[in-house]
Amino acid sequence: MFRSLRRVLAALALSAATLTAAPAAAHAAATEVDGSITVPCYTFTYTPDADWYFPATTSPKALVYLQHGFSRSNANVADLARRYQAAGFLVFAPTLPSADIYGCTVNNLGNNTVFLSNVAAWIGQAADPGAALATSYAAAARTAGRTGSTLPANYILAGHSAGGEAVTYIAEILRTTYPAAFAHLRYLQLLDPVKSIAGDNMATGLTGLAGTTLPIRAISSPPYLANSNASGTVELTDRLDRDFLGVRLTTGSHCDAEGASTNFLCTLTAGTSKAANVAALQTLAVNWAIDAADGTTTASYYPGGAYYQSLLTGGVIQTLS
């Protein structure tokens, strides 16, 4: 009897040990963390705010670096960040200055190239656990209850307005300075991109990327004052020869990329977004990112596909060429 009891107890102990050693669940609660990250500026080190959006999976498709535009903050792209998050992406959304005496800005008011090169190092050095992006992620992961997890291997850059110019230049810095990281860059998403009043960052970025196979697409609004007469979109279509460069929302607003997280400071100068335009932008941006991350082509979201054609025939979009 005692031998039988010992066998039962041993079996129970083995079962408990097996349960303890079981791998972490593939799913977790989606979580948002208000964090920070360091970046050199001139002789100083800045610590801008950085929001992290953890998806409800422990194996994100990729990291989406989502950059806001001029005079905006990461709070203004929160709605789009949550759309990427819901699709299984880990999202990193920093706030970069729009005015700074040392030129450390998201937009180019003089020469922000050194600063943007330092920002590009976030992605370029992401594999280094002691570098800025991994350190910021580790702190956010602890807060989110994801301790021990690591950054995804692949990246997507997405930027709105001046942020579109910034991520274009960042992608080119990755190509020239961090080729190993550039090899893991899957997609560049430009959301009504705007060229800065100074410098040639957009031109430099697009010229350097022209010879690559990196997918680059825009979702733009018509030319008007708020998007500097679609200056970034014109630069894109003039410099890149790709089969498909994205769409223009025929009645779009410069605020469309901000969706529900926009505010009167945008709509006052750029006009109020239409729900159909916001929905189209979010659907196309997220599904193009999914395809880029997964290495697939979901026909519905491209010319000739059901969803795309419904937007085209309904007058919601025009194809950029």
The verdict on residue 3 lying in a domain is: no
The verdict on residue 92 lying in a domain is: yes
- Reference 283, options 298, 260, 301, 297; nearest CA is 301
The verdict on residue 116 lying in a domain is: yes
The verdict on residue 153 lying in a domain is: yes
Length of the chain as a residue count: 321
The verdict on residue 25 lying in a domain is: no
Only one residue has tokens 């659907």, namely: 283
The verdict on residue 275 lying in a domain is: yes
Predicted model pTM: 0.91
- Reference 96, options 121, 124, 115; nearest CA is 115
Indicate the helix (H) or strand (E) that contains 33.
strand 31-36
Containing domain of residue 132, as a range? 31-319
The verdict on residue 4 lying in a domain is: no
Write the CATH number for 313.
3.40.50.1820
Instruction: Give me the DSSP letters along 205-243.
Output: HHHHHTTS---EEEEE--SSGGGTTTHHHHHHHHH---S
Q: How many domains does the chain have?
A: 1
pLDDT tens per residue across span 298-308: 999 999 999 99
pLDDT tens per residue across span 117-164: 999 999 999 999 999 999 999 999 999 999 999 999 999 999 999 999
**Binning pLDDT at 50, 70 and 90, where does residue 26 land?**
low
pLDDT tens per residue across span 39-74: 999 999 999 999 999 999 999 999 999 999 999 999
Only one residue has tokens 């942020």, namely: 163
* pLDDT at 244 > cutoff 80: yes
The verdict on residue 19 lying in a domain is: no
